[in-house]
Chains A and B, each alone.
Chain A
Amino acid sequence: MAEMIVADKGGKGGKPKPKKHTTRVDLTPMVDLGFLLITFFMLTTSLLKPQTMELTVPSKDDVADADANKVKASQAITILLGKNDQVYYFFGAAENGVDPELIKSNYSSDEKGLRKMLMTKNAEVMNNVNQLRIDKANRKVNEEQFKAKLSEFKSAKSAPTVMIKATDESNYKNLVDVLDEMNICNYSRYAIVDITPDDIALIGRKFPQDK
């Protein structure tokens, strides 16, 4: 066959046969380029989005008539944030000049930690919410019912109210940690309140070594 073709072309003479190029292109450099760009994009992107903690604080006007919604002393828990990651709490309020019992705590989840205390105090709500979570896992309640129930349980009348008072020496992490404990222990009624000189004096009296 080849011979015939050669003979054919040869007969005509003159016209040279155009060389048949293959249409294949070497793609190696293009692959290199592709991977280079991938590397660049991988390094410059942030796939992980940070979490946020939503916080709503009362406006100045609300604070002004705070007397109207004074917390019932029997349901109040006050958490004081001191310096060097110290944290204290007491129940109720100072009455007739008698100091409430101030207890030193910490941010861990062990026996003496804040979480244990907060959970015990909020046991009713905790139980309800845990049951609700189990129900949800078993698909007994749907997403909407879950949300409605959750806020209903959390705002139960019997749930204690927490006042968070941070001293100027405490840091931002302490504040976030306590707010976090509120979330973990399903508290819905808590407020960040300005610390009073009385509270600082109380820490000084009970734990003079921390002053």
Chain B
Amino acid sequence: MPKVKVPRKSTAVDMTAMCDVAFLLLNFFIMTSNFVAKEPIVVAIPSSVSEIKIPERNIMTVLIDKDGKVFFGVDTQQDRKDILENVGKAYSIEFTPKELIEYSKLNMSGVPIDKMKGFLALSNDEKDSEGAKMGIPTDSITKQFATWVKTARQINPELRLAIKADSNTPYKVVKRVMGSLQDIKENRYNLITSLKKVSTK
């Protein structure tokens, strides 16, 4: 019996379909993505059963770490520039356009206003170093923290205030922050939490 000759097939597979799939997925991820914003400190947020999602835009975030350091940030670069300029004015510090741009690149900042100029002159690596994370003073004498929030509110009245604090933050610090907010009549805010499942039975 003659052997049936199996025709030799090329091992090259048509990649067009796979390419299509890859780029389709890529498109999806680009569209739905919002980048993980880098935060100066890592906080372990407490969990709650609340299912309200945080809005995507127009958020000012107050970050409180467990040592009580307070950081502040808004989500658009233009707002950041305007806010720093006006906060500077309130403490009679003039910022150069270069410094303003440098500041607008930062997602969050926690530097006393008098040290801001020195901080902005640092390189990116130095800004990330532990020593540069000083926190905004929340004392009631210079009222820096209140000024930041108040200025942000003036620049963009649409902003919503979100507080993101570490689980182990002493209540004392939280109380002080809430007190400063109360002083400037910021009475509605969101506490950022992670989702916890619970049974009501």
Contact = CB atoms under 8 A, between A and B. Distances in A.
A75 to B, nearest CB: 22
Interface of B: 12, 14-16, 18-19, 22-23, 25-26, 29-30, 32-36, 45-46, 48-54, 56, 64, 162, 164-172, 174-175, 178, 182-183, 185, 187-196, 198-200
Nearest to B167: A173
A172 B165 contact: yes
Given A168-B172, A171-B167, 20 more contacts: A34-B19, A44-B36, A45-B34, A46-B35, A47-B32, A49-B56, A50-B194, A52-B50, A52-B191, A53-B52, A54-B190, A55-B188, A59-B185, A167-B171, A169-B171, A172-B64, A173-B46, A176-B193, A180-B48, A180-B49
B170 A168 contact: yes
Interface in A71-108: 81
B33 A183 contact: no
A60 B162 CA distance: 20
Nearest to B12: A26
Nearest to A49: B53
Given A54-B190, A172-B46, A177-B46, A38 B53 contact: no
Nearest to B162: A52
Interface of A: 26-28, 30-31, 34-35, 37-38, 41-42, 44-47, 49-60, 81, 109, 130, 166-177, 179-180, 183-184, 192, 194
A81 to B, nearest CB: 7
Interface centre among A42, A171, A172 (most CB of B within 10 A): A172
A180 B50 contact: yes
Nearest to B23: A34
26 contacts: A27-B15, A27-B19, A34-B22, A38-B22, A45-B32, A45-B33, A52-B54, A53-B48, A53-B52, A54-B188, A57-B178, A57-B187, A59-B187, A130-B200, A166-B171, A168-B171, A172-B165, A172-B167, A173-B168, A174-B171, A176-B191, A179-B191, A180-B48, A180-B196, A183-B48, A184-B200
